[in-house]
Chain A
């Protein structure tokens, strides 16, 4: 069993040569059968395991991961948390997530560096002001916080922005003070440690090669470490959902796309919170190490390669220069790509499949990180009780057939525009 972390423990270990630290989770061999198997040892899969054990009393659970845990999108995102959505299908879910973020470190006994430094969406026109105030009202109706800032208030907090840009002058902003950033790797590690200490087996280097489906019922998974039987199998592999679910002969309302992210060299503190550009796709924050972490649009074509191409690099940097010209003085240190499940309406899916015992969590587009706790919570609820969690009732496969799409941007079934 894992021992508790605390300030006192750090002092004690410092005085005794750090000899008391133990691995944060076990490396067990697969058992022949689990009540529930979760495919995907990323943020969502590990969070699901944690809440299954902690809230729903399920401990005969395994998380299986083809590589090492936290090596996919939970380690590749821009670490932003927020709950500033408009639509009823989304906002209660993301607000639930933000509330879980606020209590995450106490819940996990793990320092995930949750920093509620605030997020601001910039406003560049009168019609955009109306739209953002409407969104702010929708957020407040769902118990989230939102605050409209006029130009003077934005100038006071972010004096370095380019307010007088000829095409996109900054006329205000919609702020969510409870938004912010989280140390993303620590989220995976914290959930893993907590799940493991409650009896969940985390099986790394264990790649799923197929499902065993018998008479329309999923009996388990074939893996690179042999067959593992299961009462229920939950898939949480966003980015690779198409690849995985094709093994169950399912076609999804999802395309895989590559999204790039960027970090500059370390700088002294310059950005107080998270800033997003309202007239292009650009978001930026400053990490605790000092690097400016930023990103923009997806590259826009189907891809399973975890790297993008140069036109989007240029586009993102142009957007950065448009709102924050001082970013041009910083040197780009690194850039990388991650694979997104881009769904047909820009919203996720947490649902049963038509195969008994097979459950699906995916379609997170490029908003999966902030959703990690609520996604795990809702997926655990679905796996344990066979009914959707109240915050995730709208995230169904059949919404495309019934006309209940959750399309925040109103783009229709064109995944690369969401």
Chain B
């Protein structure tokens, strides 16, 4: 698979480390979250067959985190964003 890095262009997926579902960006608020919220965040996944937004780390490259939208049935990648931009647009700090 080739991942079309927003800054570097197409890079081989073997340069990256896979973390998982991009909902991991939405960490519960430590001030208000219940134990159940943390359990659901840490352990439960939608695991869809189809488009999946997921976090990849460019370990052998510029060490940026990316949010890749990829179809889990065909492996087709439809969009690649910097995770930083995604997190900021969701209201995460700096």
Q: Distance (Å) between the CB of B43 and the closest chain A CB?
A: 4
Q: A301-B18, A401-B35 are in contact. Are A413 and B46 (CB under 8 A)?
A: no
- Whether A413 contacts B43 by the Cβ 8 Å rule is yes
Instruction: Specify which of A251, A303, A305 is in contact with B45 (CB 8 Å cutoff).
Output: A251
Majority secondary structure, A binding face? mixed
Q: Distance (Å) between the CB of B29 and the closest chain A CB?
A: 19
- Whether A304 contacts B54 by the Cβ 8 Å rule is no
Which residues of chain B come closer than 8 Å to A305, judged between CB atoms? 72-75
Which residues of chain B come closer than 8 Å to A242, judged between CB atoms? 45-49
Residues of B within 8 A of A (CB): 1, 12-14, 18-21, 35-36, 39-40, 42-49, 52, 54, 70, 72-75
From A57-65, A252-260, A277-285, A352-360, the one touching the partner chain is A252-260
Q: A302-B20, A311-B14, A415-B20 are in contact. Are A400 and B43 (CB under 8 A)?
A: yes
What count of chain A residues pass the 8 Å CB interface test? 26
Name the 4 nearest CB pairs between A and B, nearest first: A242-B47, A311-B14, A251-B44, A304-B49
Beta-carbon nearest neighbor of A400 in chain B: B43
Instruction: Specify which of B43, B45, B72 is in contact with A304 (CB 8 Å cutoff).
Output: B72
11 A-B pairs besides A256-B49, A309-B1 with CB distance below 8 A are A242-B45, A242-B49, A243-B47, A251-B44, A255-B45, A256-B72, A302-B52, A302-B72, A305-B75, A344-B43, A413-B42
Q: Distance (Å) between the CB of A8 and the closest chain B CB?
A: 49
Q: Distance (Å) between the CB of A251 and the closest chain B CB?
A: 4
Which residues of chain B come closer than 8 Å to A301, judged between CB atoms? 13, 18, 54, 70
Q: Distance (Å) between the CB of A53 and the closest chain B CB?
A: 32
- What is the bound-complex CA distance between A225 and B73, given in angstroms? 25
Which residues of chain A come closer than 8 Å to B49, judged between CB atoms? 240, 242-243, 256, 304
Beta-carbon nearest neighbor of A398 in chain B: B39
Q: Distance (Å) between the CB of A207 and the closest chain B CB?
A: 13
